[in-house]
Amino acid sequence: MKNKALIALLALVLGLAGLSAQQNALEFNSETPANDYINLGTNVYNQLFSGAPGFSFEALINPSALTAGNPPNDRNRIINLQVTNGTVALYVGLTSNGRLEIGARSGASDSYQSVVSANPVVTTGTWYHIAAVVTFVSGSKSIVGYVDGVQVCANNSPSFANNAYVTNPTNTGQDIIGLHPSPLPTTFDDQYYGLMDELRVWNYPRTQAQIQADMDNELILPQTGLIGYWRLNETSGFTAEDSSPSGIDGALVNFPQEPWVPGDPALPVELSSFTTTISAENFISLIWVTQSETAVAGYYIYRSADDQLGNAEIISPMIPAHNSPTQQIYNYTDSDLYASGTYYYWLQNIDLDGSDAFHGPVSAYYNTQGEYSTPEVPQTTELGALYPNPFNPLVFIPYSLDKAAYVNISVYNNRGQMQHKYDLGVKAAGNYTISWDGTDLNGRPVSSGVYQVVMTSGKEVFTRKAVLLK
């Protein structure tokens, strides 16, 4: 019989002192004329939604005004993803009296289905988390809206024509955040006024429990089904960087010179990763990395045999927090396992004021005999989403190979100058991760900025952006 869970706490302060990730937001229509918007491109999400059983959208919003919009509409548009030019696949917005409105189609030939909350659910000058979940699957078709994790509206009988999203191959519509998408750039109506932060698009219907688990935190990447993620933490410039694998960076149009402002209050914990691995002793080790901690009492680990937090039990004593502005790495080893199977874990942080937040779940397959099959070969070669991003000073670079290939990974600054290089040689098909510690070829720390990570695999080339914030 195995011993009770062991605690291995690592408080590794990694040499370079770091600041937490910026908690900024993007301000819409702070100046006249009111015509700010983010352009995500033409015919983007119509393609990314192809075959999806539904989709979900989440955002943090803080409206500064709730207007009547362009008559006869009564809308303050947050996001519009189009299936044809002038016809939305997904719309989320607010009415002039603060009700949440959601509309969707399952394809270009489908009729518009929608739902509006019966009562006002937001007001001006306050931060809210909103979520819209659309399901096309037969027997489960629905449109559901949430505010701060609480369901506020639902249409449980929309007449969607399809059981999965059908792409329109001739779509010429633009995907827009912040106002009505057509016609642009000459007409501006149904504008959103106020702050936005943490915009997320998923290619499946999320559950209420999933929404509640993530709504108070920046996401830990990678995330299954995440096809759009704009943290909106930039400090300058006119690009909203997409941290999802889709890489759909948004162009800020008509914004003033300083659209980036302080956003939602800094979270007590800036968690940049939460992962599992099998240790050499055949235990499950959980590792989490924080970029900063403020007024945190400590952490608990929860475990369950399924992915439902409600079924999970605490398996650890409280693990004290270090409350440091620098990066910290914690490790907890779960050795109290007696049966083979997949286990799910959550991390709970307890703050000094008594509040708490959950992170996860992450999962791991455990075999009591220590026998693990060869990992499945990836279907595609790709450079995965970098995490944490922004980072300081360490960023992880995951990549996958669908066949054996010679691999090089290089890091370039915005002048095209190589900062670091990894000559990895011939690698077999599989999943891999390396890390870059923010130093150049001579081991000297590089400055804050945007860096290009370039992977060559045979004749294929892949790129990702990494933002170093000190």
Q: For the chain, which residues make up each domain, given as ranges?
A: 6-19+266-366, 24-262, 382-468
pLDDT tens track for 149-179: 889 999 999 999 999 999 999 988 889 999 8
What does R_g of the chain's alpha carbons equal in angstroms? 23
Counting as low any pLDDT under 50, the low residues of the chain are 1-22, 70-72, 266
Query: What's the pTM?
Result: 0.59
Task: Provide the pLDDT for residue 419.
Answer: 92
Task: Retrieve residue 138's tokens.
Answer: 């037969």
Task: Retrieve residue 356's tokens.
Answer: 């708490």
Kind plus residue range of the DSSP H or E element containing 46: helix 45-48
Task: Provide the pLDDT for residue 268.
Answer: 61
404-426 burial code (b ≥16 CB/10 A, e <16): ebebebebbbeeeeebbebebee
Q: Yes or no: say if 370 and 282 are a contact pair by the CB < 8 Å rule.
A: yes
Domain spanning 6-19+266-366, CATH class: mainly beta
Task: Provide the pLDDT for residue 188.
Answer: 60
CATH fold match for the domains 6-19+266-366 and 24-262: no
Task: Provide the pLDDT for residue 269.
Answer: 65
Residue with tokens 């109290």, as numbered in its chain: 336
DSSP letter (8 states) at residue 445: B
What does residue 151 show for φ and ψ, rounded to 5 degrees? -65, 130
**The CATH number of the domain covering residues in 24-262:** 2.60.120.200
pLDDT tens track for 101-111: 999 999 999 99
For residue 52, what are the CA distances in angstroms to 45, 46, 84, 224, 247? Answer: 11, 10, 17, 13, 19
Burial of 70 (0-12, 13-18, 19+ CB in 10 A): middle
Domain spanning 382-468, CATH class: mainly beta
Q: Yes or no: say if 303 and 339 are a contact pair by the CB < 8 Å rule.
A: no
